[in-house]
Amino acid sequence: MTKGRKKGDQTHMGKVAIYPGSFDPLTYGHIDIVERALAIFDKVILAIAHDAEKKPLFTVQERVEMAKLIFKDTPGVVVDSFKGLLVNYVEKSNAKVILRGLRATSDFEYEYHMASMNRSLNVHLDTLFMMTSKDYFFVSSRTIKEVAKLGGTVEGLVPDLVARRLKEKFKLPVGERRLIGWDD
């Protein structure tokens, strides 16, 4: 802790962290990062980005709704959405830390560039990188969508609510389970 700061002081780094992302969809890898971050921060804001470039499967409203249901019994988690520059959202939230999950070393280069840009836009901002647990390092929202679209199971990789919503989006019968490549 920096000299002169007290743990309860609003400027204490551990107070609020923003965990931004598209979360399209939310996976157990994301949830793992949030839960572990709560051991460090008093509050974690899951900030769902409006990002038209990614052409999301779920609308922002759908993603916010699912995340609120998933974290409804988790004290210290706030679910919100934002448009525009992340640094502006962070500033409005009175946070000093951006939280980012890393799955592999390939994630680091991109995340490092983003953290550097955010820091250049606001010198009072820090980015904390957390490694995803070994059980989820291979899980990405993109892969989850691809597997679900082809009728594969995403059980154990996403909450049941997300798995059901994926089946609805891809018009798959609830409970249908296929192994990709076995029934082609």
Residues with catalytic roles: 30, 54, 103, 141
Coil, strand or helix: which one is 94? Answer: coil
Nearby residues of 54 by Cβ (< 8 Å), 6 or more positions away: 22, 24
| Structure tokens given for 51 | 């990002």
Per-residue CA distances from 167 to 40, 96, 113, 148, 177 (Å)? 35, 38, 35, 7, 10
| Structure tokens given for 24 | 């399209």
Separation CA 80–CA 63 (nearest Å): 10
- Which residue, 39, 29, 16, is CA-closest to 133? 29
Give exposure, 107-125, as e/b (b: 16+ Cβ within 10 Å): beeebeeebeebeeebeeb
